[in-house]
Amino acid sequence: MIRTNNISFSYTEYGKDEDLAPGDLELVLAAREIALNAYAPYSNFRVGAAIRLKSGIIIKGANVENAAFPSGICAERSALSNSVSNHPDDIPVEIAVAAMTDEGITAGFVSPCGSCRQVIAEEETRIGKPIRILLSGRNNTIVLDSISSLLPLQFNKTQLKSNLP
Ligand code: THU
């Protein structure tokens, strides 16, 4: 059998901060605020992630770099480690990501790196629900329903068992 398959996804784009719903803007502002706490002396690229848990609590994280470059951690994983560690049963509903350089908030939105996509995907698997993703820049913010859009055909626990008869 030979078949060509197609994967597509939809996302909503908001042009200005004022176009966002108040709750979305609140989460984006939390991500921008925590980006100021980033330790990013090597890249000068400060990233912030804000996760809203089901209870309403907002957990924030920033990127923390290291002279041994691979030892650094991204904002998304920083925030997720915090939420899973401290609130294991209060599940993430949505995560906002924003970044800034020395010139201020990036013009375009910032997209999570591959490792962060994989970690957010694992969290969706752990909680059994999609996590809404808000990627924000000065000129636009995009909103996606799940990390699956950014990580199609993902590796997850089901494949660990895929060789069983
Ligand atoms: N970074 C994040 O924290 N999140 C992203 O989504 C992209 C990249 C960080 C890693 C590193 O500290 C800096 O940004 C430059 O790559």
Q: What is the pLDDT of residues 28-51, one digit of tens each?
A: 999 999 999 999 999 999 999 999
Q: Could you tell me if the CB of 30 is within 6 A of ligand 1?
A: no
How much is the average pLDDT of 139-164?
92
For residue 124, name the pLDDT band (cuts at 50, 70, 90): very high
pLDDT over 80 (residue 134)? yes
How much is the average pLDDT of 97-107?
97
The question of whether 76 is a catalytic residue gets the answer yes
Strand partners, 95: 51, 133
Q: Could you tell me if the CB of 66 is within 6 A of ligand 1?
A: no
Considering the chain, what is the average pLDDT of its residues? Answer: 97
pLDDT at 119: 98
88: DSSP letter? T
Q: Could you tell me if the CB of 79 is within 6 A of ligand 1?
A: no
Q: Could you tell me if the CB of 142 is within 6 A of ligand 1?
A: no
**pLDDT tens per residue across span 66-82:** 999 999 999 999 999 99
Return the ligand 1 atom nearest residue 78 CA.
3
Q: 12 alpha carbon to ligand 1 midpoint, in Å?
A: 23
Nearest Cα residue to 40 out of 81, 84, 74 = 74
For residue 161, name the pLDDT band (cuts at 50, 70, 90): confident
CATH number of 18-153: 3.40.140.10
pLDDT at 69: 98
Return the ligand 1 atom nearest residue 97 CA.
6
**Catalytic-labelled residue, pool 13, 26, 65, 76:** 76
Q: Could you tell me if the CB of 47 is within 6 A of ligand 1?
A: yes
pLDDT over 90 (residue 88)? yes
How far apart are the two ends of the chain, measured CA to CA in Å?
Answer: 21
Cα separation, 73 vs 116, in Å, equals 9
Q: HSE on the CB side for 63, CA within 13 Å?
A: 24
pLDDT over 70 (residue 165)? no
What are the helix (H) ranges across 57-136? Answer: 75-86, 114-127
Q: 67 alpha carbon to ligand 1 midpoint, in Å?
A: 14
